[in-house]
Amino acid sequence: MSGRTLYDKLWDSHLVSQRDDGSALIYIDRHLLHEVTSPQAFEGLSLAGRKPWRLDANLATVDHNVPTTNQAAGVAAISDPVSRLQISTLDDNCDELGITQFKMADLRAGIVHVIGPEQGATLPGMTVVCGDSHTATHGAFGALAHGIGTSEVEHVLATQCLVTKKMKNMLVTVTGPLGLGVTAKDVILSIIGQIGTAGGTGHAIEFAGEGIQSLSMEGRMTVCNMAIEAGAPVGLIAVDQTTIDYVEGRPFAPKNEDWLRAVEVWADLASDSNAVFDTEITIDGGLIEPQVTWGTNPEMVTGIKGAVPNPAGIVDPIQRGSIERALNYMGLKGGQSIESIQLDRVFIGSCTNSRIEDLRAAAKVVEGKRVSDSLIQAIVVPGSGLVKAQAEKEGLDQIFRAAGFEWRDPGCSMCLAMNADKLGRGEHCASTSNRNFEGRQGAGGRSHLVSPAMAAAAAIAGHFVDVREWI
Amino acid sequence: MQQFISEKGLVVPIDRSNIDTDQIIPKQYLKSIKRTGFGVNLFDDWRYLDPGEPGMDHSARRINPDFVLNDSKFNGATLLMARDNFGCGSSREHAPWALVEYGFRAVIAESYADIFYNNSFKNGLLPVVLAAKELEYLFDKSLGDLPLELMVDLPSQTVKGPDGFETRFEIDSFRKTCLLDGLDEIGLSLAEADGIRAYENTQRQRTPWLF
pLDDT of residue A376: 98
Range A200-206 average pLDDT: 98
Q: What is the ipTM of this complex?
A: 0.96
Of B23, B30, B210, the CB nearest to A36: B30
Asked, for residue B210, whether it belongs to a domain, the answer is no
CATH number for the domain harbouring residue B160 = 3.20.19.10
Share of residues in chain A with pLDDT > 70 (%): 100
The helix (H) or strand (E) run that includes residue B7 is strand B6-13
Name the CA radius of gyration of chain B, rounded.
20
Asked, for residue B93, whether it belongs to a domain, the answer is yes
Q: How confident is the model at residue A21 (pLDDT cuts 50, 70, 90)?
A: confident
Quick check: B162 contacting A, CB < 8 Å?
no
Instruction: Please count the structural domains in chain B.
Output: 1
Domain that holds residue B45: 6-184
pLDDT of residue A96: 98
**B-chain residues within 8 Å CB-CB of A202?**
114
Q: How confident is the model at residue A2 (pLDDT cuts 50, 70, 90)?
A: confident
Asked, for residue B124, whether it belongs to a domain, the answer is yes
pLDDT of residue A132: 98
Calculate the average pLDDT of chain A. Answer: 97
**A-chain residues within 8 Å CB-CB of B113?**
198, 201, 231
Find all residues with CB under 8 Å of A85, minimum gap 6, and list them.
Answer: B33
Least Cα separation, residue B119 to chain A (angstroms): 6
Asked if pLDDT for residue A1 goes beyond 80, the answer is no
Q: Which of B3, B24, B177, B26 is nearest to B105 (CA)?
A: B3
Asked, for residue B201, whether it belongs to a domain, the answer is no
* A326-364 pLDDT per residue, tens: 999 999 999 999 999 999 999 999 999 999 999 999 999
Asked, for residue B211, whether it belongs to a domain, the answer is no
**B-chain residues within 8 Å CB-CB of A29?**
210
Report the C-alpha gap between A253 and A460 in whole angstroms: 40
Of B18, B20, B55, the CB nearest to A82: B55
Find all residues with CB under 8 Å of B8, minimum gap 6, and list them.
Answer: B149, B150, B151, B152
Say which DSSP state B86 is in: B
Question: Are the C-beta atoms of residues B154 and B144 closer than 8 Å to each other?
Answer: no
* A133-159 pLDDT per residue, tens: 999 999 999 999 999 999 999 999 999
Instruction: Burial-class residue A207 by CB neighbours within 10 Å (0-12, 13-18, 19+).
Output: buried
**B-chain residues within 8 Å CB-CB of A233?**
114-115
Of B31, B122, B190, the CB nearest to A149: B122
Nearest CA in chain B to A258: B209
* B96-140 pLDDT per residue, tens: 999 999 999 999 999 999 999 999 999 999 999 999 999 999 999
Report the C-alpha gap between A167 and A139 in whole angstroms: 15
Least Cα separation, residue B198 to chain A (angstroms): 9
Asked, for residue B208, whether it belongs to a domain, the answer is no
Report the C-alpha gap between A58 and A252 in whole angstroms: 12
Q: Which amino acid is it at A113?
A: H
**B-chain residues within 8 Å CB-CB of A235?**
none
User: Cβ of B114 and A297 within 8 Å?
Assistant: no
Q: How confident is the model at residue A20 (pLDDT cuts 50, 70, 90)?
A: confident
User: Cβ of A231 and B113 within 8 Å?
Assistant: yes
Asked if pLDDT for residue B184 goes beyond 90, the answer is no
Asked, for residue B92, whether it belongs to a domain, the answer is yes
Report the C-alpha gap between A291 and A303 in whole angstroms: 4
